Structure formats: C-alpha cells, structure tokens
Amino acid sequence: MAVSALQLAELGLHGAAFLCGIVCASALTVAQGEFGGFCLLYGTVSWTGTALSPKSFSSVSLCSFVSAVSVVVALYSFSALLYGVYGSCVEEPRGDRAWLSVALLMAFIVLFFLLVAASILRVGMNALCASMVETKALVSCQEAERKPWVSYSPTRFYSNLYSAQASAWVNVFLWCLLTVRLWWRRRRRSEEVPSQLLRSTDAESEGLFGGRPIGP
C-alpha cells in the first residue's frame, strides 16, 4: 500500500515523541541518582569554602511527576505509532469523525501535561542555577559539575537536567504539530461526510426513480 508523505510524517512525529519522552525520563532519573534520589529542581545550594553543599531539595514527587508524564506520553506515542503502522499495512480506514474527535481530545490532554512538565523543569532548573550562582563560587551552573560537593560526587547532573528540559520542550513542539495534524484530519473528515451523504442520496434517488431517462 502506498503511504502518503503526511502519513509518514505523522508516524515520524510519533516516533520522535516516543524517543523524547524516554530521554527526558532517563536523564532526569540519572540526575536524581547522582544525589541519592533527591530532586534537584527548585533546590538551593551553599558554598562551604571548599565545596558545594545542598541546602534543600524539592519533593521527590515533583521529579516523579515529570518522569511519569514523560513515560506515559512515550508509551502513548509508541502505541499511536504501532497503530499507524498497522493501519497503513492493512489499509484500515483513517478513522471516522467521532474517533478523530477523541484522538484530538487526547492530544490536547497530552499537550497540557507536557507543558506543565516542561515548565516545571525550566523554572526548577532556573531556581537551582540562581542559587548556585549566588554563592559567588562559580560563574555558571554548568561549572558546578567540576566543583567538589559535600557528601555527593555528581559529574553530569547539569547536562542531564539540561537534556531532560530540552527533550521536554521538543516533545511539546512535536505534540503541537500532531495536534494540528489531527485537527486538520478531523476538519477534512467533517467536510467529506456531507459529500458522501449527498452522493448516497443521489444514488438512492436514481435507484428509486429508475435513474436518468435513456434517450432514443
């Protein structure tokens, strides 16, 4: 079966969204692991004179929420990818208006939670970095990876947090495109239904009245 360029693009977007979700959850989990499982977002740091010392961490549930959203969205994207591949292989219809309405609603829900998770990562990282720079012991947040820490030995926590944030915002962009694609498909489907009903009515009329008169 020939697959259109738009269908291939949609499958590619779902695949990319799956990868972004996995990268975001994995990077955030690794960053937590470098600090004993504590959540660094919105945390505060002090300088002891020889090393950086965490003054406070945020609730672990905050990082767990971001990770959970990323994993759930990744699984949903992967399921949508498999369904799209299956539908293309068996030439399954692309869905009626009701199905597309449900899919569009789900896309809006996914986009909402992704925006919340990405915002938590961005604001949480900004708060953490502001606390580090205020110690006057380093110029940038990334420099903290090369500084000694009290009780911890992090090496790539900032890089992992940055990767998680970048993946989250890329995922938001991908789902914006997917939402627009679903809305466009639903609109096209809405325009096709009246045309199909009109053709069906014309066919029934021709069958009832014997069709057009045939000339001599």
3-class secondary structure, 146:
helix
**pLDDT score at 196:** 47
Mean pLDDT for each consecutive 10-residue tract of the chain (216 residues)? 74 95 96 93 92 92 96 96 82 64 92 97 95 88 90 90 96 96 82 51 49 46
**pLDDT score at 158:** 92
Q: Give the global pTM.
A: 0.83
**pLDDT score at 16:** 96
Query: CB neighbours of 120 closer than 8 A, spacing ≥ 6?
Result: 41, 62, 65, 66
**pLDDT score at 3:** 63
Which tokens go with 126?
């900004």
Q: How far apart are CA 6 and CA 36, in angstroms?
A: 45
Q: What would the DSSP string read from start to end of 55-68?
A: EEEE-HHHHHHHHH
First to last CA, the chain: 45
